[in-house]
Structure 1
Amino acid sequence: MKVPEPKSCPDCRSQRRWGFRNQDTLYKRKCDFSGDTMISLYSQDKPYKVYKEEIWWSDKWDPMDYGRDYDFNRPFFEQFNELLLDVPRRGMHQDGTNENCEYITFGVGNKNCYMMFASFYCEDILYGTWCGMSKDCVDCRSCMNCEIMYESYSCTKCYNCIHCYTCENCQDCLFMDDCRNCKKCIGCKGLRNKELYIYNKKATKEEYEELKSQLLKRDLAEEEKKFNKWKLQFPNVHLEMQNCEDCTGEYINNAKNCHFCYNMVLGAEDCKYCQIAGWQGKDMWDCTTTGKECELMYEMHATLTSQNCAFCSFCRFCSDTYYCDCISNLKNCFGCSGISHKQYCILNKQYTKEEYEELLPRIIAHMTETGEYGEFFPLSISPFAYNETQAQYYFKLNKEEALEKGFKWIDEHQVQKGFTGDSCSCIDCNKAFRITSQEKRFHEKIGVKPPTQCIDCRRKRRAKLVKLQTIYDRTCDKCNKEIKTSFAPDRPEIVYCKPCYQESLIN
């Protein structure tokens, strides 16, 4: 792709991309076009113009009105930051295919969902993240093709399960970890094709019903702590991969030649240092939430169905495009924001093909001299405070550390979030939080007590289940074979290589 070698390590590059993604910190603010109140990813005090989604996508304004000449006497990132401050931004990053989903971000084809983030084709989901094609689930993360799920993570094709993790084709289960094709089981790990098991031992139907009844009356968050402690006696596979060839990473399926990648789903090939990507993507390096038939991608964030692009954020249906933000259907564009269905544009200014091809090499040479070319946008020009973004989730910093690095920070007392009707106090942080009527109906339906933690504390608790984006060298705890794993050497879990782990499963 004719770009320089990166100047920073893979983690720092990932941190930089995540720092441009506020996914789940929402506010009430005014639309800067209509003046109407809206739910937005941008707090009212942000210096950006923010439009409601339907206005942003309409022809009521023209992003080309903000076009400008390139100034060879100033750094590119300085000029691009000024463009970001001028061009209106999308309030919630929805694409118009959602129904009754005002409080969701990065959603496609969803219906009747609330406080759900980065999910697609879901219905009646509350407080979900990275879910797909699922229905009637609450407080779940990375659940695909699931129904009636509560407080579960990384499950596929499961039904009526509570506090289940990395399970597939399970039904009527509670507190399960890495189980497949199981039914009416409680507190198990590493089961395959079992029914009526309790703590990895055969049980009667009456014992199952009695224990389930008792658990549903208790504080499930406390029961989760007990289960997590109990399962430490059982081994874990060093890497979660299925149908992969020559791959290293975590939660990868149907991939080939992908290394140091995380959450690569639905097929990927020849990728490296990617996170939450795939979807038939090929030749992608340093890409975050990128895929769906993308090819030749480098240092990209939030991209789909594009080819030969680099250093872009929120890019779809583009080709031969570099250093752009919030764009769609572009070809041969550089340094643009908010434009669509264009080609041969630089800083939102239209050029002829000949003008573009004469000017672009000069800009690249200038950026090479300033040390900017080949680097993703610096976090200093992110529209969000560091602690509003997913970077804080994967690379946690305190206020002093963030400010020292030149990142933005927002104190909670600075901005009042736009949610009222709070009726409960969180037992962990004492913040008030609301239990919606839809949430109450779900709790009654599955027979659980209302949560005692606020939304944020529940989300943080689930986040601890996610293995972070680091691969370590260690040895199998059974055969001493050298392995690569996302379990740090100082963690308490038992870790096996795949052959040893397969032998340990209860079939």
Structure 2
Amino acid sequence: MLISMEKTCTITGKPFTISESEQAFIEAMDMPLPTIEPEERIRQLMATRNEWKLYHRTCDATGSKILSAYPPESPYTVYRNDVWWGDSWEGLTYGKPFDFSKSFFAQFDALQKVVPREGTSVFQSENCDYNSHIRQSKNCYLNSLVVRAEDMYYSYWMVDVENVIDCCFHIKGKSALCYECLAFGTCVQGIALQECYNCNDCAFCYDLRGCDHCLLCSNLSHKSYHILNKPCSREAYEKLRSEMINGSYASWVKAYQQYAEVRQNALHRAAHTINCENVTGDHLFDSKNCLQCFDGDTSEDCSNDVSLNDAKDIHSCYSAGWPRCEQLYNCAVSRGCSAMAFCRYMWFCNDMRYCDSCQSCKHCFGCTGLRHKDYCILNVQYSKEEYEALLPKIIAHMKSRGEWGHFWPYTVIPFAYNETSAQTYFPLTKAEALKRGFRWRDEKDAPPDVTKIVPADRLPDSIDEIPDDVLGWAIECAVTKRPFRIIKQELDFYRRMRLPLPRIHPEERHLRRMALRNSYTLWERACGNCKKAIQTTYSPERTEKIVCAECYLKAVY
């Protein structure tokens, strides 16, 4: 009978626990138990994914200029998206038989560099070239992790939205006309909301459910016309709203400062879990038996994961689902897959190990960029009998070199650390990243092709005073001094919604929103009300009032 096992992380030296269910799953996958703590496993996976950075480079197939997640100096072969998705190339062309005089990862790395990669992950979309990881969308610009969006700008991790700017983490329901919203769902005309669901015409609010026409409120359920959690007349609501949201930057700053106080003084749930059973983690919906999981819905029997959708038996993975995934271990970005380990960017694959960017494949090992293939190793086709005879020898070879059961070494990861989502969720300095073995890319913005650069503090206060000429300017960020542009659709949105022009670069705005989210670390604390033990992503030094689920429900409902 298995019991929970305590181990020490070989990277951080911190203790971590491997549960009975996780042990059973890993042993069933015929893998050794992990030697690094869950957070470090997620860091490794996130370090394989460039979610934001876009570069101009040359398509290695056509010679045309393209947008790419890979910078010009990258040693990888990169194709324009339509060429990569086309049938002018074949992944088996690049295969080489396994060489037992070399390590597996050295051979895998060499294969990775020659097999073509798509420039950006954009498909089934219209007018969405300037995005990363987007599908089934239209008229979007500079977003990442998007499904079914229209007219959206500078947003992250968004599903089923339209007319949205500067938002992130929308997974449930459909929303429209939202600005500066975070962790929300089914909201219309939402301005500066966090943890709000099924709300209409609310602004500067935290943790509302089924509310409408609320300002500066928190912890309310099914309320209308409230200011600072107290009922108000329609006239009082409209008067205050017009004072807060009137196109003036000064008014916006004042209102946002009030909002920060509302958020700080609100009750905070130890964990944002809805309709869940036997779960630990945060931001989980309609799930059960998920331990130390974050940002997931409709999942079960999972552990140590970030980003789940319709997932079952998923362990130590980042972004699994959309559609259903089952039995995955230590994988990054899996769609419709099952029975995989140590894979990245896989679509509708089964029984795969150490593979990258494959579609509709099964029974493959160490392959890259294959489609509709079975029984391949390092992109070489074998018969079923040949594959089953060779694979155990390769695994034994990997075990002898200490490679088996470990995710890809940092030398095989295609991006610099500060190009990836790992830097967002687990930030490191350049020195820290290099010490750990990651690469780092020093960046410098190209001079913008504009008529002039205007410091943010020189902009007119009101959106009404902003001329159309601003579309030909660059604004110098008030924080980073990086120049950024305003596009016409964005300007039209601000004017329509009576919002001031932003003074901060889009990347910095994104980082500020992300800073409002807690980390993927669980802490032991006591409920701020009844004092019972709780697990929460709010660290012990945080000063907000953190309460257990029972105390929260009594107070709010």
> 1:340-359 counterparts in 2 under 5 A?
340-359=371-390
Pairwise CA distance, 1:369: 1.4
Tell me which of 32, 46, 51 is aligned to 1:4: 32
- Tell me if 1:455 matches 2:511: no
Q: For this pair of structures, how many residues does the alignment match?
A: 502
The amino acid of 2:232's aligned partner reads A
**Equivalent residues of 1:305, 1:316 under 8 A apart:** yes
Over 3 Å counting, the alpha-carbon distance change for 1:417 and 1:248 in structure 2 is: farther
Partner secondary structure for residue 463 of structure 1: helix
Over 3 Å counting, the alpha-carbon distance change for 1:497 and 1:79 in structure 2 is: same
The amino acid of 1:248's aligned partner reads T
Pairwise CA distance, 1:368: 1.2
**Equivalent residues of 1:264, 1:275 under 8 A apart:** yes
- Tell me if 1:62 matches 2:113: no
**Equivalent residues of 2:293, 2:303 under 8 A apart:** yes
State the partner residue of 1:409. 440
Distance 1:345 1:103 in 2: 35
Q: Deviations over 1:216-253 (max 9, x none)?
A: 22443563343223332222110000111110010001
- Tell me if 1:383 matches 2:411: no
Partner secondary structure for residue 211 of structure 1: helix
Distance 1:135 1:254 in 2: 25
The amino acid of 2:530's aligned partner reads C
State the partner residue of 2:468. none
> 1:3-22 counterparts in 2 under 5 A?
3-22=31-50
The amino acid of 1:88's aligned partner reads P
Distance 2:253 2:44 in 1: 33
Q: Deviations over 1:383-438 (max 9, x none)?
A: 1100000010111110111111111000113x749987652111111111001000
**Equivalent residues of 2:184, 2:195 under 8 A apart:** yes
Over 3 Å counting, the alpha-carbon distance change for 1:422 and 1:319 in structure 2 is: farther
Tell me which of 259, 262, 283 is aligned to 2:313: 283
> 1:411-430 counterparts in 2 under 5 A?
411-413=442-444, 416=446, 423-430=474-481
Q: Deviations over 1:306-339 (max 9, x none)?
A: 1111110000111011100011111100000111
Distance 1:23 1:193 in 2: 36
Identity of aligned residues (%): 36
Distance 1:222 1:213 in 2: 13
- Tell me if 1:478 matches 2:505: no
State the partner residue of 1:338. 369
Tell me which of 223, 232, 237 is aligned to 2:269: 237
Partner secondary structure for residue 312 of structure 2: strand
For structure 2, the 5+ residue unaligned runs are 1-28, 451-471
**Equivalent residues of 1:118, 1:130 under 8 A apart:** yes
Distance 1:433 1:232 in 2: 31
Distance 1:418 1:28 in 2: 14
Tell me which of 99, 104, 110 is aligned to 1:71: 99
Distance 1:489 1:139 in 2: 30
**Equivalent residues of 1:155, 1:168 under 8 A apart:** yes
State the partner residue of 2:190. 161
State the partner residue of 1:363. 394
> 1:218-257 counterparts in 2 under 5 A?
218-219=249-250, 220=252, 223-257=255-289
Pairwise CA distance, 1:298: 0.4
Over 3 Å counting, the alpha-carbon distance change for 1:250 and 1:422 in structure 2 is: farther
The amino acid of 2:214's aligned partner reads C
- Tell me if 1:110 matches 2:142: no
Partner secondary structure for residue 169 of structure 1: strand
**Equivalent residues of 2:217, 2:228 under 8 A apart:** yes
Q: Deviations over 1:149-198 (max 9, x none)?
A: 00101111100010011111111111111101111111111011111111
Tell me which of 231, 237, 240 is aligned to 1:211: 240
Distance 2:490 2:264 in 1: 32
Distance 1:37 1:225 in 2: 44
**Equivalent residues of 1:28, 1:418 under 8 A apart:** no
Distance 1:334 1:221 in 2: 54
Choose between structure 1 and 2 for higher RCO, CA contacts under 8 A separated by at least 6 residues: 1
The amino acid of 1:31's aligned partner reads C
- Tell me if 1:399 matches 2:437: no
Tell me which of 280, 297, 305 is aligned to 1:274: 305
Distance 1:402 1:53 in 2: 31
**Equivalent residues of 2:271, 2:281 under 8 A apart:** yes
Partner secondary structure for residue 135 of structure 2: coil
Pairwise CA distance, 1:380: 2.3
State the partner residue of 2:151. 124
Distance 1:205 1:11 in 2: 48
Pairwise CA distance, 1:29: 1.3
Distance 1:419 1:325 in 2: 37
**Equivalent residues of 1:27, 1:417 under 8 A apart:** no
**Equivalent residues of 2:206, 2:262 under 8 A apart:** no
The amino acid of 1:141's aligned partner reads C
Tell me which of 291, 298, 307 is aligned to 1:259: 291
Partner secondary structure for residue 178 of structure 1: strand
State the partner residue of 1:433. 484
**Equivalent residues of 1:28, 1:417 under 8 A apart:** no
State the partner residue of 1:175. 204
160-169 or 208-217, which deviates more: 208-217
- Tell me if 1:137 matches 2:164: yes
Partner secondary structure for residue 345 of structure 2: strand
Tell me which of 27, 34, 51 is aligned to 2:55: 27
Q: Deviations over 1:5-57 (max 9, x none)?
A: 01111111110000000001111111111111111111111111111111011
- Tell me if 1:188 matches 2:217: yes
